[in-house]
């Protein structure tokens, strides 16, 4: 199992340091104020000015013709593949990609698609691996329709797909008639860390989206962008799946606030992740993957304590993390400060000494 949530222990102390995920962020007081003051209308009929403003802004940010506001990032992925593919089609993605590991088999259950799992270190496959997975179009094999990447690669350690690699994958895909889709769950983490704009990062990708409920700190939603014809088709699937909303401007206002105030500060999360990794790596027996963004993966096995035992011990100290793919994942975000990072390092050191 790729992800194991921490056990619910009614006797555990209150969570003081929440490193479980950047989805744990709470809307700030200023964000709540922006939500309270939002102009609203019926989003389903295009009558919510705040939703419209958000979609226009995200489309421009990524250099696409149009965009649509969705309740979740998973819904962005699912509706995108439902538009790009037909039943029996094949999607190519990394073996740890969210569309494979974390979306409940939706692409198979709803769309009848199969996903070919490409291997590669750190949650990424190489252009050559992609090329070798392609096959001639014959009546005997499923049509290969979409190649998908996850930016950043979550289970790979929050790694950033390099621009040159993305461009090469696009070129191969276009040469062979495939559509390109970017799962942008932490896309802005990648753009802030790399200094590459969202427009340049998503250039050549037929569809891409931004999640607002992770590091950007909004309570709900993602925005999917692409061509106008693609977004029109996505809207029909949004309707079919029951995702159309009414006065959604209340939530969209939080996303606009995040674009105005929470993008540049993602660099603070990256700095906190580096500080956490640096401190953990100085503890004998703790193996740490060097973070590129806001995710820190580590294993304390060499210190004589299993990962799940470490997670349980930290939870008793008011710190919550997750086991993921056999490692501990800590995720920094706007509700975690530098002092809490140092406190967490101290707890891990204390637990290791006790072991």
Strands across the sheet containing 322-324:
3-4, 322-324, 327-331, 295-299, 287-288
CATH of domain 3-26+265-354: 3.90.1150.10
Beta bridge partners of residue 69, listed in sequence order: 223
Distances (CA, A) of 300 to 27, 91, 159, 324, 351: 33, 36, 21, 14, 10
Q: What percent of the chain has pLDDT over 70?
A: 98
Region(s) of the chain under CATH 3.40.640.10: 38-261
pLDDT, residue 7, reads 58
DSSP-derived 3-state class of residue 69: strand
Region(s) of the chain under CATH 3.90.1150.10: 3-26+265-354
CA 171 to chain centre: 24
DSSP state string for 241-303 = TT---SSTHHHHHHHHHHHHHTSTTHHHHHHHHHHHHHHHHTSTT-EEPPPSSSEEEEE-GGG
Cβ neighbours for 354, distance < 8 A, ≥ 6 positions apart = none
Give the DSSP letter of residue 171.
Answer: H
Task: Specify the DSSP element, H or E, that contains 119.
Answer: none
Arithmetic mean of pLDDT, 62-67? 98
β pairing state of 322-324 and 3-4: antiparallel
User: Are 43 and 246 spatial neighbours (Cβ–Cβ below 8 Å)?
Assistant: yes
Residue 98 pLDDT class (50, 70, 90 cuts):
very high
Question: What's the CA gap between 47 and 40, in Å, rounded?
Answer: 8
May I ask the CATH architecture of the domain 38-261? 3-Layer(aba) Sandwich (3.40)
| pLDDT (tens digit per residue) in 106-163 | 999 999 999 999 999 999 999 999 999 999 999 999 999 999 999 999 999 999 999 9
Predicted TM-score (pTM) of the model is: 0.96
User: Are 67 and 93 spatial neighbours (Cβ–Cβ below 8 Å)?
Assistant: no
DSSP-derived 3-state class of residue 338: helix
Question: What's the CA gap between 211 and 213, in Å, rounded?
Answer: 6
pLDDT, residue 1, reads 42
Question: What's the CA gap between 235 and 68, in Å, rounded?
Answer: 8
| pLDDT (tens digit per residue) in 169-202 | 999 999 999 999 999 999 999 999 999 999 999 9
Residue 26 pLDDT class (50, 70, 90 cuts):
very high
β pairing state of 3-4 and 90-94: unpaired
Arithmetic mean of pLDDT, 290-297? 98
Q: Which long-range contacts (CB under 8 A, 24 or more apart) does 41-44 make?
A: 41/247, 41/249, 42/246, 42/247, 43/69, 43/244, 43/245, 43/246, 43/247, 43/248, 43/249, 44/239, 44/244, 44/245, 44/246
pLDDT, residue 4, reads 55
pLDDT, residue 8, reads 64
Inform me whether the pLDDT recorded for 224 exceeds 80. Answer: yes
Arithmetic mean of pLDDT, 64-77? 97
Arithmetic mean of pLDDT, 277-283? 98
What sign has the CA pseudo-torsion 121, 205, 104, 246?
positive
């Amino acid at each position: 199992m790729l992800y194991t949530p921490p056990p619910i222990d009614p006797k555990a102390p209150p969570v003081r340091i929440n490193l479980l995920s950047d989805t744990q962020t709470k809307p700030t007081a200023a964000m709540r104020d922006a939500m309270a003051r939002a102009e609203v209308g019926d989003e389903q009929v295009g009558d919510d000015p705040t939703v419209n403003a958000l979609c226009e802004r995200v489309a421009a940010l990524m250099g696409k013709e149009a965009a649509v506001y969705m309740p979740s990032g998973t819904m962005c992925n699912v509706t995108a593949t439902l538009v790009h593919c037909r039943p029996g089609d094949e999607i190519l993605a990394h073996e740890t990609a969210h569309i494979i590991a974390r979306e409940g088999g939706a692409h198979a259950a709803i769309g009848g698609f199969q996903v070919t799992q490409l291997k590669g270190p750190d949650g990424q496959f190489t252009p050559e691996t992609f090329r070798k997975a392609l096959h001639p179009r014959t009546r005997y094999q499923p049509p290969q329709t979409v190649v998908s990447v996850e930016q950043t690669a979550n289970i790979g350690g929050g790694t950033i797909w390099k621009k040159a690699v993305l461009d090469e994958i696009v070129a191969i895909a276009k040469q062979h008639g495939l559509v390109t889709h970017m799962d942008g769950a932490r896309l802005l983490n990648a753009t802030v860390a790399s200094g590459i704009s969202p427009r340049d990062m998503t250039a050549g990708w037929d569809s891409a989206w931004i999640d607002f409920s992770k590091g950007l700190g909004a309570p709900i939603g993602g925005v999917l962008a692409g061509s106008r014809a693609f977004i029109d088709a996505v809207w029909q699937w949004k309707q079919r799946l029951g995702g159309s909303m009414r006065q959604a401007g209340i939530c969209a206002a939080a996303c606009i606030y995040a674009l105005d105030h929470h993008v540049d500060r993602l660099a603070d999360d990256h700095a906190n992740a580096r500080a956490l990794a640096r401190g953990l790596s100085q503890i004998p027996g703790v193996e740490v993957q060097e973070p590129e963004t806001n995710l820190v993966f580590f294993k304390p096995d060499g210190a004589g304590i299993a990962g799940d035992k470490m997670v349980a011990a930290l939870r008793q100290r008011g710190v919550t993390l997750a086991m993921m793919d056999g490692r501990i994942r800590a995720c920094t975000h706007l509700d975690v400060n530098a002092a809490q990072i140092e406190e967490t390092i101290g707890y891990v050191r204390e637990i290791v000494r006790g072991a």
